[in-house]
Amino acid sequence: MNRRSYLSASAALLAAPALAQTQHHRHDTPELRPLAPSANPYANVFQGGAPHHITPQQEAQRVTGSPAPAGPQGRWVARADMPIPRSEMAWATAWGGRMHVVGGYGEGKFNQAYHTIYDPAADRWLEAAPLPRGANHVAVVADAGKVYALGGFVEQNRACDDLAFVYDVATNRWSEMARLPRARAASAAVVLDGKVHLIGGATDPSDERASIGWHEVYDPATNRWERRRPLPGARDHVGCVAHNGLIHVVGGRFNTFQYNTGLHHVYDPRRDAWEVAAPLPTERSGHGMVVYRGRFYCMGGEGGILERGVPRDAKVFGQMESYDPATDSWQHHAPMLTPRHAVAATAIGDWIYVAGGGAVLGGMVQSAVHEAFTLD
């Protein structure tokens, strides 16, 4: 039995606990069309989305060692693969016990309008109303029955726009909202006290794509944006969560994954001020970050150098590291079964779901791989 078949069998045996832990979540999305898992785990966007076989050289890019102290290892299991190999969605969000994944690279294009929803209770993917325009690196966040999709690149990791949309879960419809004050992509979006914070990212001109520290806040009640104190270390492809009235921005890159950082900044909205906390042990960008059992879990990411499209010192991270805000300390857990970057990651029930993402350094190879982590 091969590895994927073994993992799929293990997932089936473990499906009952997952179902039990997600049944209590309610969702009010209209009936959506089920989508079958992809027949191919990997695809190459530069070859028109053709199926891709990971070479030994590409598999050698995977790294999993962490300098952080060991914590409870937990375990990973396979879940239903995504319908299409995708990457550069720039994160995901959850509402009503379901994960929403928007936009990204796929099927040979960089500006896809995909909107797929994963239902962990049934371990299946659903097709939802597509984003009104295609883009990659769209910042997404959910609150009060709405999913916000903010900015994004319309070309390959460049040429950002200021478009912003809101999706109504109850009607399966998108509508345009107030445009971003400034065009950007690869930003982080979180909700705090009913308002959407959009932090960091990258902006044009496309031939000088550069990281920014911009921090703007959207109020759904007024459909208006306001500025807040910018992120002290301008960067993009960060991990970001809101917890206990504070916003944590972790890791990311200065302009390119050649200059990754472990910086960890914490924003206090009462003082409109930033402070520094314990850094991410493994410096990386394009990683997922979620709140799970009161800790912040970071997984995946990439780093290295691309010279005329050829990788050097290439790394695709599989580390799973978590932060305890009570002690300002980090630890590591069981690494991802399949290291990836630019993943869709959310915590639902007592599981962390990590779907899709780039399988090698850069945006060439997308994956449909979907795996879930639990401490049980």
Q: Given pLDDT bands bounded at 50, 70 and 90, which one contains residue 28? A: low
Q: Given pLDDT bands bounded at 50, 70 and 90, which one contains residue 16? A: very low
Least confident range from 166-175, 305-314, 350-359: namely: 305-314
3-state secondary structure of 305: strand
Tokens 């500025």, residue located: 227
| CA–CA–CA angle 367, 368, 371 (5° rounding) | 105
What pLDDT, in 10s, does the model give residues 52-99? 999 999 999 999 999 999 999 999 999 999 999 999 997 899 999 999
Q: Give the span between the Cα atoms of 310 and 320, in whole angstroms.
A: 27
Cβ proximity of 96 and 147 under 8 Å: no
What pLDDT, in 10s, does the model give residues 248-277? 999 999 999 999 999 999 999 999 999 999
Own/partner pairs for 312-317, CB < 8 Å, 24+ apart? 314/61, 314/360, 314/361, 315/61, 315/63, 315/284, 315/361, 316/61, 316/62, 316/63, 316/340, 316/341, 316/358, 316/359, 316/360, 316/361, 317/63, 317/64, 317/282, 317/284, 317/287, 317/341
Q: Give the span between the Cα atoms of 87 and 122, in whole angstroms.
A: 23
Q: Give the span between the Cα atoms of 84 and 90, in whole angstroms.
A: 16
What pLDDT, in 10s, does the model give residues 112-143? 999 999 999 999 999 999 999 999 999 999 99
Percent of the chain with pLDDT over 90: 88
Q: Quick one: which of 244, 258, 372 has its CA closest to 296? A: 244
- Identity of residue 1: M
Q: What is the CA radius of gyration of the chain?
A: 19
pTM score, whole prediction: 0.92
Q: What domains can you pick out in the chain, each with its CATH number?
A: 3-374 (2.120.10.80)
Q: Give the span between the Cα atoms of 206 and 52, in whole angstroms.
A: 28
Q: Give the span between the Cα atoms of 85 and 365, in whole angstroms.
A: 9
